[in-house]
Amino acid sequence: MKGLPPLSRLQFHGNRPTPVYRKLSFHNKILLIIFLLLLLFGLLGAIALQWALKVHLIKEYENHFQTITDSLSHRLVSMVSLGDRTGVTHLLSEENKLYGSSLYMIVTDKSGVTLGQSLDRELPLQYTQHNLGNEGTDKKNSQNIKAHDKTIMEIASPIIHEGKSIGAVKIGFSTSSMNTFLRRVMTIYLSIFGTMIFIFFLIVRPFLRYTTRPIVTLTHIADEISVGNLDMDIFFGKHVNCWEIKKCGHRNCAAYTNIAVQCWFVDGTPCEGYEPKFPEKLKGCRKCEVYKTHKGDEIVQLADSFRHMIYILKTSRAELEKSYKFQSNMIQNSLMGIIATNEIGIVKIFNLVAENLTEYCESEVIDRLTLKDFFSEEIAKKINRPLIYDYGLVLRGFRSMESEVMDKNKEPIPVRVSGINLYEEEEHLGKVFFFQDLREIKRLRQELIQSERLSATGQAVASISHSIKNILDGLLGGVYVYKTGNRINSEKDTKKGWKMIEKNIDLISELVIDLLNYAKERKPIFQKCNPKDIVEDVIETMEGKTHSDNKIEIISEYEGDLGDIYVDSHALHQCLMNLVSNAIDATPPRYQGIIVIRLKSKNQDGIIFEVSDNGIGIKKEIQEKIFHGMVSTKGSTGTGLGLLVVKKIVSEHGGTINVESEENKGSCFRIWLPKNNANIPAFGSK
């Protein structure tokens, strides 16, 4: 795989046995090293002693054996000169018995012929082979011979007669006594040496245990620190108080108020010439008489560092515990539910609000349940989507939205939830979800809606009752005029009364239609149509309904690429009719009115309908309420239902409506509708 080191560089430590010396304690390691050194020097001494003794003994043996050989050569002069073989053999046998260390004796004449030898049997080959080629020997010599795994020292001496060599005598001596002596000496030496080592160990071992006790203590302290025990007092070196040695009198000094560590570890001391902050000050402090008074060996310095480290760890742990308690308290007592998971989705934080909301206990959730036990797959997907803030920081998560969380009984609870992924240096740490219970809010919202409905109903009833009363008064007036005309046979009054009746019937029809359109729930029927056709039809319909005493002109304007759109043409026609009707009513009598129906295309962003007039305008305080209640600017002739119907139709199309108006200058109602409405099935398919 990419990134792995070569196999030759891989190190495996799992099954490798730990060397024995690494298991030994520190003082035992020192003892082992001393033992090995003593053993080495002892063996070298034994080798040197053995070599020196061996050289000395060989020299002594050689001189001793040479004297014996020389004496025998003088006694053999007459026998060799006469060629007396029997005498030579007898003398050699007697001499061989006299010297226990001699193995053999050989006498030869000047030509190398053997005249006699000390052995009763034939002389062995390994002895005689060293005598070959030695004829005419006229000088003394010695040599070592290897035979039967034995070392034999052979001494040769010439037999001199009248100043001439007439033969030679050779004697082979055994060196076993010398070797026995050497072995005894070495045995005594090694016994003495072993005894001395044993006595040395008896003396040195307690001393080493005593001298290494501070290291053992520091090791114990390190073990205690590693398991979190920081409540220890470490006393090494001479205890000093800097203010007593310096006699400075600074009672407000940081070192005087903090005696947990030595003054050279404390920031802010007023020592002249020294850097006031640690560790920069340490170099200067080590030249101070306070430090020199306290100072010991390296163990004391190490202990001081341990003491300072424990102080720093205790301080840091206290701060971490305080920070942890604060964060834990903040999380647990948050007014919002908090669920946090690790990078693989296992729950690690579950606060009190989450417990109360889901009816789970914290112990049932932590390290047991996952994200899927509480939220839907949609939420799990959304939290992994990029979330970009204005300042450019790219995170993953989602902003507050309405969703559901599952309780212990797997029942959904409505909540407002937001989530974020946690990262540290691009490493994914986990996920956090914040949520708020919406059950009470939804209940209050429902109550508010119900209350608003009741209020709106009451307002509508009052307004409609007033309007119906006015219409009834108009009907009664028309009936009265109509009856009067019939009674007096006045055609003029009869027609006038009938017109009054027709007018009020139209008002009743409009009121009923508005009530039905606003009250009933209906889905718009989207059909493909040209928005221009709707505008032109509205203009044609409304031109006949302008007041006879008003000079009102209704015109249309078009901007952009106006292709076919999918809308409920009947509802949109009614919507524009209401706005144009209001614009006509807003035009004062005997006033040159201009009503403009403007159609703008925003390409794929949607389409805009504007209905503007130059009438009396709408007061600012009424503009804020005009789409939220039955508010009318027509006095007793209006119900306020028209604009509510318009807003309802626009909302059904997924659009928006707003108004811009200025008193005595006119108003402009602007409707925005999307071209591709999400509510349109297959974009207008039937």
Q: Which fold has domain 522-683?
A: Heat Shock Protein 90 (3.30.565)
For the chain, domain boundaries: 15-211, 333-437, 443-517, 522-683
Beta bridge partners of 146: 151
Question: For residue 338, what pLDDT is reported?
Answer: 94
Question: For residue 9, what pLDDT is reported?
Answer: 46
The pTM of the whole model exceeds 0.85: no
Distance between terminal CA atoms of the chain? 58
Average confidence (pLDDT) over 551-574:
84
Question: For residue 434, what pLDDT is reported?
Answer: 94
Q: Which tens digits make up the pLDDT trace of 361-380?
A: 999 999 999 988 999 888 88
CATH pick for 15-211 out of 3.10.310.40, 3.30.450.20, 3.40.920.10, 3.40.50.10800:
3.30.450.20
Cα Rg of the chain (Å, integer): 62
Q: Using 50, 70 and 90 to split pLDDT, how confident is the model at 349?
A: very high
- Nearest CA-CA partner of 299 in 307, 311, 288: 307
In 103-137, which positions are buried (b, 16+ CB within 10 angstroms) versus exposed (e)? bbbbbbbbeeeebbbbbeeeeeeebeebbeeeeeb
Cα 75 vs. chain centroid, distance in angstroms?
105
Residue 275 CB neighbours (<10 A): 15
Computed from CA positions of residues 514, 520, 526, 527, in that sequence, does the dihedral angle turn out positive or negative? negative
Q: Using 50, 70 and 90 to split pLDDT, how confident is the model at 684?
A: very low
- Nearest CA-CA partner of 459 in 656, 651, 652, 644: 644
Question: For residue 296, what pLDDT is reported?
Answer: 75
Angle made by CA atoms 619, 622, 623, in degrees to the nearest 5 = 85
Residue 1 in this model has a pLDDT that exceeds 50: no
Q: What is the rounded distance in angstroms from the CA atom of residue 127 to the CA atom of residue 568? A: 140
- 24-38, 238-252, 305-319, 322-336: which range is least confident on average? 238-252
Q: What is the rounded distance in angstroms from the CA atom of residue 612 to the CA atom of residue 491? A: 42
Q: What is the rounded distance in angstroms from the CA atom of residue 1 to the CA atom of residue 87? A: 98
- 54-58, 377-381, 519-523: which range is least confident on average? 519-523
The amino acid at residue 465 is S
Better-scored residue on pLDDT, 374 or 457: 374
CATH pick for 333-437 out of 3.30.450.20, 3.40.190.290, 2.40.70.10, 3.20.20.80:
3.30.450.20
Average confidence (pLDDT) over 192-202:
89
Residue 260 in this model has a pLDDT that exceeds 50: yes
Better-scored residue on pLDDT, 491 or 659: 659
Q: Which tens digits make up the pLDDT trace of 583-604?
A: 888 888 777 888 999 998 877 6
Question: For residue 612, what pLDDT is reported?
Answer: 92
Cβ-based neighbours of 450, under 8 Å, separated by 6 or more: none
